[in-house]
Structure 1
Amino acid sequence: MLTIERALVEKIVAHARADHPDEACGIIAGAVGSGRPTRFIPMINAARSPTFYQFDSTEQFQVWRDMDDDDEEPVVLYHSHTATEAYPSRTDIGIATESPVGLNVHYVLVSTRDPDTEEFRSYRIVDGEVTEEEVRVVEAYG
């Protein structure tokens, strides 16, 4: 289960809507070992595509370096789908399977296909297997 503060959900959705019609992408970092997403890090979609996202390699290097310096790790990797539901594509599954971030990361997808509906879902992707998980939105961590 992903437990996340409402303010972070709102930032992810706002980023996804702002970058529409291109996919948006980013990270929410948290203290190493905490499993708690705390720091919102919107990133540039270097692909600038409505159907694909790719972190800018220079920006990604700097973000990972900053997280390391701050004893943080990626807790959430997020991106948007602009014309389809918030479910991982084959490409998304391949990226997650090859990712070095580990098994504890939550893969969040937001669909911006309908401007009046908020579709926000989270998954675990391990060895190519996709499992949707419950998302619990809280006002603040207790």
Structure 2
Amino acid sequence: MLTLTQALYDRIVEHARKDHPDEACGIVAGPAGTDRPERFVPMLNAARSPTFYEFDSKDLLKLYRELDDRDEEPVIVYHSHTATEAYPSRTDVTYANEPGAHYVLVSTADTDGLGEFQFRSYRIVEGVITEEEVQVVEGY
């Protein structure tokens, strides 16, 4: 199960909607070994695409150095799908290289922002996708 604060949930959704019609992407870091998402780190989609996301390689290297310096790890790796449901694509599964992370997908297919949107979380390990429950809390 993924447990995250309402504030982090809101920031992920806000980023996904702000970057629409392109896919948004980023991580939420947390203290190593805790599985507790704490620090929101939005990233630039270097692909600037409505159907694909890509972390800039220089930004990613900088991020991982920062995570090491702060004794953190990516607890959540998130991105949005702009025209499809919030379910990992084959490409998403290929790029899922953090076996301990929660992979969050937000569908922004509802572009007017008034209807339903999807916020779903998965574990992706060795190509196997397992959806998990999402619990939103006020604080830890």
* TM-score (normalised: structure 1): 0.94
Task: Please give the alpha-carbon distance, in whole angstroms, between the structure 1 residues aligned to 2:29 and 2:121.
Answer: 16
Please give the secondary structure, in 1, of the residue aligned with 2:63: helix
Task: Point out the more displaced range, 57-66 or 19-28.
Answer: 57-66
Could you tell me which residue of structure 2 aligns to residue 113 of structure 1?
Answer: 109
Match runs of 1:46-125 below 5 Å: 46-96=46-96, 99=97, 101=98, 103-114=99-110, 115-116=113-114, 117-125=116-124
TM-score calculated relative to the size of structure 2: 0.96
| Per-residue deviation, 1:14 | 0.4
Shift of 1:104: 1.3
Give 2:5's aligned residue: 5
Moved over 3 A (4+): none
Q: CA deviation at 1:90?
A: 0.7
CA RMSD of aligned residues (A): 0.7
Q: CA deviation at 1:126?
A: 1.0
The structural deviation recorded for 1:130 is 0.6
Question: Which amino acid is 1:140 matched to?
Answer: G
1:29 aligns with 2:36: no
Aligned equivalent of 1:129: 128
C-alpha deviations, 1:20-66, integer Å up to 9, x for none? 00000000000000100000000000000000000011111111111
CA-CA distance at 1:127 after TM superposition: 1.2
The unaligned stretches of length 5 or more in structure 2 are: none
Local SS of the residue matching 1:52 = coil
Q: Which runs of 5+ in 1 are unaligned?
A: none
Query: Offset of 1:118 from its aligned partner?
Result: 2.8
1:121 and 1:73 mapped to 2: Cα distance? 20
How much identity, in percent, do the aligned residues show? 65
Give distance in 2, aligned partners of 1:49 and 1:109. Answer: 16
Q: Distance in 1 between matches of 2:59 and 2:126?
A: 27
